[in-house]
Amino acid sequence: MYSEKVIDHFTNPRNVGEIENANGVGQVGNAKCGDIMRITLDIENNIIKDIKFKTFGCGAAVATSSMVTEMVKGRTVEDALEISNAAVAEALDGLPEAKMHCSNLAADAVHAAIKDYMEKKTKV
């Protein structure tokens, strides 16, 4: 079933909310299961100073959102882009096979937010 880490991140999610005036925003969803994740970033000098998430979905989706925020907070943009879907699941000590698509959303949402940040940065 679910690991203790998954249960902990679901019942005590970290970094919930939305950053006002975020300089990177990413939203992804999975039409098959209905999960939607929105990540907002505050990036300064190439470092992710703050990250928040809002997730509509199952417990695994909330847990992966929470975990990915912990994994990238304080890291460089390049390091955050290296985080894979498998790494999120591994950091939670695994997910049931039927819930693996949830970890894919967490990494994808971070990558989408970073892409948004980079696009905004090049327009300035």
Would you call 102 a catalytic residue per the annotation?
yes
Give yes or no: 58 in active site.
Answer: no
Maximum Cα–Cα distance across the chain: 48
Q: Which of 62, 72, 95, 102 is catalytic?
A: 102
Q: Which of 7, 19, 25, 33 is catalytic?
A: 33
Residue 55 CB neighbours (<10 A):
22
Residue numbers annotated as active site: 33, 102
